[in-house]
Amino acid sequence: MPLLTLREAPPERLDFLAVNPLALSGLSQGDAERLVVGTTRRGLVLGDCFTVKLDGSDTLTIAGGHARLDRVGASLTEGAIRVEGDVGQRLGAGMTGGTLTVTGNAGPFAGSGATGGTIRIEGDAGDHAGGAVHAAKVGLDGATLVIRGSAGDCLGDSMRRGLIVVERAGAFAGARMIAGTIAAGTVGDHPGYGMRRGTLVVGGHGALMPTFVETGALDLVYLRLLAKSLRPLSARHADLLSGAPKRYSGDLATIGKGELWVAA
């Protein structure tokens, strides 16, 4: 498989938008090493910081991640990328297919605008994971984002489609949601702030907005189907829907068609 091995810490932020299995498959070793990834006037190329080994397969491994590696897997359409370590901001932004795995932590805006594929973060994610970047209308838009650790504030901000599974999230999880599903072990204060539609499933939460209204503890067939779809990703999150979880409707300050389910 293609292998990029980090030799030294990047002296500046690197843009990995053009570094993916499909793009590398059509390049020679020398051409790949000359890919421009720098973001300043230094003119850094891939070979300045990485040892490059190509074999034409559809799986790319980046051995040795760093918080300065931005837009890793952005616009990925097929194949797989695995990062052994950390990455920077906008992981998998705009991707439409394929699989993206990070064994460490990710910066802010992971999965923003992603319409397909699966993103897995084994560590923590920064603020606005699955959320809309500045001036964008939507965040996650159809992809699956799994965060095994914690996420920062504004998880899934303005997400329109897709699924987010996370162990813990900060304040304003699901803010301004248009649609989609977020399943979280715990979330901070004000989950669902300004949400129009969509589903939040949580094991515990901080302070709720006064514009969320309890509508009862329910055991619905719909919840069992949702739990079935969650189970391959996380049995723990699927179990949040067992029994009769409590439902809140909101945000009533908008059209109020969103829902917050709290584990029984």
Q: What is the 3-state secondary structure (H, E, C) of the chain?
A: CCEEEECCCCCCCEECCCCCHHHHHCCCHHHHHCCECECCCCCCEHHHHEEEECCCCCEEEEECCCCCEECCCCCCCCCEEEEECCCCCCCCCCCCCCEEEECCCECCCCCCCCCCCEEEECCCECCCCCCCCCCCCCCCEEEEEEEEEEECCCCCCCCCEEEEEEEECCCCCCCCCCCCEEEEEECCCCCCCCCCCCEEEEEECCCCCCCCEEEEECCCHHHHHHHHHHCCCCHHHHHCCCCCCEEEEECCCCCCCEEEEECC
Res. 21 pLDDT band, cuts 50 70 90:
very high
pLDDT tens-digit readout, 77-103: 999 999 999 999 999 999 999 999 999
- Indicate if the pLDDT at residue 50 is higher than 90: yes
Instruction: Answer whether residue 246 shows pLDDT above 90.
Output: yes
pLDDT confidence tier of residue 9, bands split at 50, 70 and 90: very high
- Report pLDDT digits (tens) over 22-31: 999 889 999 9
Has residue 56 got a pLDDT over 80? no
Q: What pLDDT does residue 26 have? A: 84
pLDDT for residue 244 is more than 80: yes
When pLDDT is averaged across residues 239-247 and rounded to a whole number, the result is 95
Mean pLDDT calculated for residue range 198-207:
98
Kindly report the pTM of this predicted structure. 0.95
CA distance 124 to 218: 32
Mean pLDDT to the nearest integer, 46-61: 92
Mean pLDDT on 219-248? 95
